[in-house]
Structure 1
Amino acid sequence: MAILTTGPIVNTPVNGVRPTQTITIKIVNNDPVNTSTVLFEGYYLNGTRTLYVLEAFPVGPNEVITHNNYANLDGYEFLFTIGDDTAGQTEISVWGKNADGELVDAHRLVSSEVKY
């Protein structure tokens, strides 16, 4: 089993608007045979750490899934738990997007940046 995290992400308003409104999570299962099960937890960070997303997704062999979540919060963090069989074959990236759906570079984490 592998547990990955984005670490805390600060999303402080600039001129009254937070840079990131939604996040897109991409999960890639590179295993040619086994299904990967990914549990993800999203936490709202505002003086306390409050769970606001809890979902599990099966990702078939060689499958890519995309999932969008609300992120118009002062701060947030996501944790991903990947099942044993495919932990080394599953990659996750997180992409912050503004109200227009454009990427927020500062809130972009590719799979090599999502840490153990």
Structure 2
Amino acid sequence: MTLLSTGPIENSPVSGIRPIQQVTVKIINRDLVNSSTILIQGYILNGLRTLYVLEQIDLAPNTVVTRNYLANFDAYEFVFITSGLAEESTDISVWGKNASGTIIDVQRIVADEQLGS
């Protein structure tokens, strides 16, 4: 079992509008034979750490899934727990998007940048 975290992500308003309105999570299982399971937890960080996303995905071999979540908060965090025989072959990326759906480069986290524990 592997635990990955984005860490806290600041999303304070600029001229009254938060830069990130939506978060896109992409998960890929590169294993050609085995499946993996990913538990996604999203938290609003507003003085308390409040769970607002809780989803488990069973990812078949050699597949990719995309999930979109609301992120119109001053701060948020995503935690991913991966397990299964393809755990080592499963990568996750997180992309912040503005109101028009454009990716904001400063709020993107790819597999090699995630915090493991």
TM-score, normalising length from structure 2? Answer: 0.97
Listed one character per residue, the Cα deviations across residues 3-46 of structure 1 (whole Å, up to 9, x for unaligned) are 10000000000000000000000000011111111001000000
Describe how 1:14-53 pairs up with structure 2 within 5 A. Answer: 14-53=14-53
**How many residues matched?**
116
Q: Which residue of 2 aligns with 1:100?
A: 100
Identity %: 53
CA distance in 1, matches of 2:84, 2:55: 18
| Residue identity in the other structure for 1:70 | L
Q: Secondary structure at the match of 1:88?
A: helix
Listed one character per residue, the Cα deviations across residues 53-92 of structure 1 (whole Å, up to 9, x for unaligned) are 0000111101000000000000000000001422211000
Any stretches of 5+ residues in structure 1 without a counterpart?
A: none
Q: Does 1:79 align with 2:79?
A: yes
TM-score, normalising length from structure 1? Answer: 0.97
